[in-house]
Amino acid sequence: MNASHHPSDDLLWSYAAGSLDEPSSILIATHQSLCPACRAIVAKAESLGGELFEDLASEDIEAGSLAAVLARLDDIEDSSSIAAETIDDEAENISVPRPLKDYLPASVPSLPWRWLGPGVRYTAINTEARGPKIGLLRIAPGTKVPMHGHSGNEMTMVLAGGFTDATGSYQRGDVEAADGGLVHQPVADAGEECLCLVVTEGELQPTGMIAKILQPFFRF
């Protein structure tokens, strides 16, 4: 099943250029391991980036060369689909794709899960760099996560199960990008626990009364 909610092109190109922070890179790497469409965009960006670098090193880029660059982009389209096929697709059959698995010290059930609230557990993933926090969230089937806003950007990627909020329904591989303005109440789909990879820049900000009572639990 292909993902239907993808990271923005900006994020994919930043990832390809190596300019994303480590937690965001882990999420994008994990997403593209499940998403052939984004894998192709990253491959294209990497090829184009490499070619531009060579051009810069060997010649001045003239005004009007944008058309040439765009024409080249079309050429790269073909080679990127070949590159995508060489990636091991077995990752698609296991619950934790390899780019993420490398960061986990144990199997998912054996990680040090912290109770955040009824039906919600969280475990932090340690990265070396400073920056946004990254961790895994387990939400019991049918659980409503209290309504909350965000003081910074948040990216959530579904690894198992699914959830729905006002912006849509998210299944394995899907990425929801929330900016500081989004206030939402995700509800885990019935029937299966929802496992998500979450990258958060700021504190979550509870908005409802119950969420305010639960506020301590949102301090990842």
CB-CB contact of 84 with 40 (8 Å) = yes
169 burial level (CB within 10 Å; 0-12, 13-18, 19+):
middle
How many residues bind to Zn ion according to rule CB under 5 A? 4
Q: Does 35 bind Zn ion (CB under 5 A)?
A: yes
Taking the C-alpha atoms of 25, 172, 198 and 9 in order, what is their torsion angle to the nearest 10 degrees? 40
CB-CB contact of 199 with 102 (8 Å) = no
Q: How far is the CB of 173 from Zn ion (least distance, A)?
A: 7
Q: Does 41 bind Zn ion (CB under 5 A)?
A: no
Judged by CB under 5 A, the stretch of 27-35, 81-89, 178-186, 205-213 that binds Zn ion is 27-35
Name the residue nearer to Zn ion (CB basis): 6 or 44. 6
Q: How far is the CB of 61 from Zn ion (least distance, A)?
A: 30
Cα separation, 61 vs 64, whole angstroms: 9
Q: Does 158 bind Zn ion (CB under 5 A)?
A: no
Q: How far is the CB of 140 from Zn ion (least distance, A)?
A: 27
Among 11, 27, 38, 100, binds Zn ion (CB under 5 A): 38
DSSP 40-87: HHHHHHHHHHHHHHHHHHHSPPPTTTHHHHHHHHHHHHHHHHHHHHTS
Q: What residues numbered 2-21 form the site for Zn ion, per CB under 5 A? A: 3, 6
Judged by CB under 5 A, the stretch of 32-40, 75-83, 99-107, 188-196 that binds Zn ion is 32-40
Cα separation, 84 vs 47, whole angstroms: 12
Q: How far is the CB of 147 from Zn ion (least distance, A)?
A: 28
Q: How far is the CB of 29 from Zn ion (least distance, A)?
A: 12
Q: b/e per residue, 127-146, with b = 16+ CB within 10 A?
A: beeeebbbbbbbbeeebbbb
Q: How far is the CB of 34 from Zn ion (least distance, A)?
A: 8
The contact set with Zn ion (CB under 5 A) reads 3, 6, 35, 38
